[in-house]
Amino acid sequence: MNKITSLCTLCLMGILLLFSCQNDDLSSDNIGYLRLQMGVNESTNTKAEEVYNPKQMAVQILRADGTVAEETSNFAAEWQGKQIALPVGTYTLQASSAGFDGQTSGFNKPYYAGQTEFVIEKGKEINATVTCTLANVKVTVNFDKSFQKYFKAATVTVGKNEPEEETAATEPTITPLIFEMGKEQGSGYFPAIDLQAKVEITNQQDKTFSQTDAIRNVKPRDHYILNYSIGMGEGSIDIDVDEKMHTYTFHINISTTPKTSLAAPTVNSWGKLAYLEGSVISATETLNTGLMKFQYRKKGDADWTDAPTTTYDEIPAQGTTPATDAEDLTPKGTFKATLTGLTPETEYECRMVYADEEYSSETTVFTTEAITALYNGNFDIWSQSGETIYPDAAENAGNTTSFWNTSNPGTTQGLGAIGGALNPTTGVDSPVHTAGGKAAKLQSAYKIIAFAAASLYTGNFAGLDGMSANMEFGKPFGARPIALHGYYQYTPAVINHVDRVPAGVNIQEGTTMDECSIFIALATQSFTFNNGDESSFIDYEGDDRIIAYGELPSGAATSGNGYTEFTIPLRYKSLTQKPTHIIVVCSASKYGDYMTGGEGSTLYVDDFELIYDGIPTLWE
């Protein structure tokens, strides 16, 4: 470390007054005058504590016999630019940081001092300078970033080295300074005596280690830098010393082939849950898989929480080999855990640990996803544009910005309006599930020559194509809910209009009761189809672009006169793939796309919401 450069310079200038009357006084009294100036090199100054300012210089002018001729404790405030009268003679000028003698230790507390001699001569102008330098010793401690990875805590205590007996009485007593890893403390300052540095380390398993090293032949103005970093070895300390620069680098060695090493968990995070998976990198001891677990916490929290469940998926053995002393006893499989009850859009961290945290993996940081509510899921928002009723605000009605749509445009616009406009799907004040709100009423009807199944869906009505309709299912949506929850009331009619029937479905016109349909899907795109072209219909089970699907288990009539609560679990084909669109469809006639159903079948739906709590269902 380079020695500290000059900090301040005191410039002294003796100025002989030129007035004739004063010349007479100088001749007779042998007195001259000094005007003192001080310059400070700011670039080399060190920030000090508020209670101590090393730039405040105390100055003494000493006579040849050592007595004080003049002095000040604050040169800048009291002597800057002023004249000082002195008798002819030889003097010593001493300057030092005021209020501190440099004989004790302290953080951010440098001490500067210097002196020079000058002579006042009668009738002559004199110049003199004094250079102040660091009079104590500076010590800086640096912890490499790797320390925070491998060690939970680390401190370095710098204090007086044990002195020889003959010097013990003469050396000052100082208070050791403690440098803590992760804490901004600045540099420490000490008298110019031999020092020692004691490092104390606590690893992630709360095991401690310490070592003390001496720093000898210390001189004023020295700056020692103690660098602590991770080396490669088996639990010892190597020291590299650059004597010229006074730099000590301490390598704290850790084993490059640890007894047991755990992999940092991989995380698949959802809105309120996360799937964790980890494994053992290496182990030279037999591990009990039942003692392996995961821990997690919100980032910034102090305490870890154990994962509520942990499973172990063993990889089947591919044959047997004779055991050897060097056999890797790593469990051949992966450890898994599922975290629930998490907070959306929150940063967490997790790790895998063994036994009572005897071993732990590196920490993995993850952020939970945002959750999104189902827009107008209570069906309180309705508007009308022309003859068509829409389940959305007026500014969105009938255009592609509308989240919900219906088949109403097919019976109220263009050729569909012949014979009078008909809105099979409307908003009603009664019956409703939540008092004061609205519900959606879907009532299938027959108009002139075609059956009109009442429908409500997330998507767009893309126009009529003869007697059929073009429709787009799906609206942008990126969250991953667990289920669709809501309320419905259904009164079916006998199917009295049969155009087409899906393969495998047996319907007898005039006998078979109609059924309703409510389903939800998450997809990686929207889908456009024509209800007159069965080849364009969506294959919710076989299409890989559908990543999750769920439907009402029965489309039969509900019992009683009120609403029936339902929860439709979403069955996920993939737990890692994320959707871009959501499809929710309600129909008063399940086979309305085939122009088949019962005239008068009536479905009420209300208070739909997406559920995010819990664990998703896997597609089987």
Per-residue pLDDT tens for 141-177? 888 877 777 788 889 999 998 754 444 455 677 889 9
Is residue 8 predicted with pLDDT exceeding 50? Answer: no
Position 245 confidence tier, pLDDT thresholds 50, 70, 90: low
Q: Is residue 337 one of the residues assigned to a domain? A: yes
Residues 267 and 230 in one domain: no
Confidence of residue 474 (pLDDT cuts 50, 70, 90): very high
Confidence of residue 269 (pLDDT cuts 50, 70, 90): very high
49 or 512: which leads in pLDDT: 512
Backbone angles phi, psi at 167, to 5 degrees: -105, -10
pLDDT at position 322, please?
40
At 20 the pLDDT is 29
Supply the pLDDT for residue 487: 98
Please state the length of the chain: 620
Q: Is the pLDDT of residue 451 over 80?
A: yes
Contact status, residue 389 vs residue 403, Cβ threshold 8 Å: no
Whether residue 398 sits in one domain with residue 305: no
Percent of the chain, pLDDT > 90? 42
Q: What is the dihedral of CA 429, 431, 435, 436, to 10 degrees?
A: 0
Output the pLDDT for position 580.
97
Q: How confident is the model over 383-403, as a mean pLDDT?
A: 88
Residue 203 has what pLDDT? 75
Q: Is the pLDDT of residue 5 over 60?
A: no
Between 42-46, 240-244, 286-290, 401-405, the lowest mean confidence (pLDDT) is in 42-46
Token output for 550: 């769920």
Collapse the DSSP code of 550 into the 3-class scheme (helix H, G, I; strand E, B; otherwise coil) and give the result. Answer: strand
In a domain, 378, yes or no: no
Q: Which two tokens stand for residue 586?
A: 């309600």
> What pLDDT score does 415 carry?
73
pLDDT at 407 over 70: yes
377 in any annotated domain: no
Between the ranges 85-89, 193-197, 299-303, where is the mean pLDDT highest?
Answer: 299-303
Report whether pLDDT(18) > 60.
no
For range 545-551, the mean pLDDT: 97
Q: Is the pLDDT assigned to residue 432 strictly greater than 70?
A: yes
Looking up residue 409, the CATH number of its domain turns out to be: 2.60.120.890
- Residue 317: is its pLDDT beyond 70? no
pLDDT at 485 over 90: yes
For residue 240, is pLDDT > 80? no
% of the chain at pLDDT higher than 70: 82
- Checking if the pLDDT of 616 tops 70, the result is yes
Instruction: Note whether 24 and 50 are same-domain residues.
Output: yes
What is the distance between the alpha carbons of residues 196 and 198, in angstroms, rounded to a whole number? Answer: 7
Quote the pLDDT of residue 170: 59
Is residue 552 within 8 Å of 518, Cβ to Cβ? yes
- Phi then psi dihedrals of residue 381, to 5 deg: -100, 120
Query: pLDDT class for 282, splitting at 50, 70, 90?
Result: confident
Flag whether 399 is in a domain. Answer: yes
Six-digit token pair at 537? 């219909």
* Residue 371: pLDDT over 80: yes
Same domain, 274 and 409: no
Question: Could you give the C-alpha distances from 117 to 60, 127, 130, 335, 360, in angstroms and in order?
Answer: 12, 11, 9, 79, 66
CA-based torsion, 573, 576, 577, 580: positive or negative:
positive
Query: How many domains is the chain built from?
Result: 4
**Are 185 and 52 part of one and the same domain?**
no
The pLDDT value recorded for residue 234 is 53
pLDDT, residue 401, reads 81
- Split at pLDDT 50, 70, 90, the class of 316 is low
CATH number of the domain that 235 lies in?
2.60.40
Whole-angstrom distance, CA of residue 616 vs CA of residue 569: 8
> Phi and psi of 422, rounded to 5°?
-135, 125
**Of 167-171, 286-290, 496-500, which gets the smallest average pLDDT?**
167-171
**Is 499 a domain residue?**
yes
> According to the model, what pLDDT value does residue 10 have?
40
Q: What does the pLDDT read at residue 227? A: 82
Mean predicted confidence (pLDDT) in 56-73: 89
Q: Let me know: does 277 contact 265? Beta carbons within 8 Å.
A: yes
Mark whether 204 and 150 lie in a shared domain.
Answer: yes
Sheet containing 151-160: which strands, arranged edge to edge? 177-180, 151-160, 195-203, 208-215
Give DSSP secondary structure letters for 271-339: SSEEEEEE-EEEESS---GGGEEEEEEETT-S--EE-S--EEEEPPP-------TT-----SEEEEEEE
| Domain of 145, in residue numbers | 137-254
Give the residue from 364, 308, 293, 302 showing the smallest Cα distance to 338.
308
What CATH number corresponds to the domain at position 306?
Answer: 2.60.40.10
pLDDT attached to residue 171: 65
Are residues 66 and 15 part of one domain? yes
The mean pLDDT value of the chain amounts to 82
Structure tokens at 446: 């027959």
Q: What is the pTM of this model?
A: 0.60
**Which of 336, 367, 398 is the last residue before a domain boundary?**
367
Three-state SS for 412-472 is: HCHHHHCCCCCCCEEEECCCCCCCCCCEEEEECEEECCEEECCEEEEEEEEEEECCEEEEE
Q: Domain check: are 526 and 423 in the same one?
A: yes
Tokens representing 439 are 């519900």
Closest CA to 185 of 247, 105, 106, 300: 106
Q: What digits encode the pLDDT tens for the residues 74-132?
A: 888 888 777 778 898 898 988 888 888 888 888 888 888 888 888 888 877 676 677 77
pLDDT at 465: 75
Token pair of 170 as six digits: 């003469």
pLDDT tens-digit series, residues 552-599 = 999 999 998 899 999 999 999 999 999 999 999 999 999 998 999 999
Mean pLDDT of 482-497: 97
| Whole-number Å distance between alpha carbons of 140 and 183 | 13
Q: Of the residues 254, 285, 310, which one is the last residue of a structural domain?
A: 254
Same-domain pairing of 205 and 229: yes
Q: Are residues 228 and 274 located together in one domain of the fold?
A: no
> Is 244 inside any structural domain?
yes
Q: Same structural domain for residues 548 and 446?
A: yes
* Between 387 and 146, the higher pLDDT residue: 387
- Using alpha carbons only, give the angle 424, 428, 431 rounded to the nearest 5 degrees: 115
Q: Is residue 354 part of a domain?
A: yes
Q: What average pLDDT score do residues 228-239 get?
A: 62
Is residue 546 predicted with pLDDT exceeding 50? yes
Paired sense of beta strands 247-254 and 223-232, if any: parallel
Q: Bridge partners of 143?
A: 228
Tokens of 453: 């199944």
Mean pLDDT (whole number) for 339-366:
91
Same domain, 357 and 427: no
Position 541 scores a pLDDT of 92
pLDDT surpasses 80 at 42: no
| Statement: residue 24 has pLDDT above 70 | no
Q: Indicate whether 3 belongs to any domain.
A: no
Give the mean model confidence (pLDDT) for residues 594-619.
96
74 contacts 98 by C-beta, under 8 angstroms:
yes
Q: Which of 320, 294, 323, 298 is nearest to 309 (CA)?
A: 294
For residues 280-300, average pLDDT: 87
Q: Across residues 271-278, what is the average pLDDT?
A: 96
Q: What is the structure's pLDDT at 157?
A: 93
Cα separation, 419 vs 376, in Å, equals 32
Give the end of a domain, one of 134, 163, 187: 134
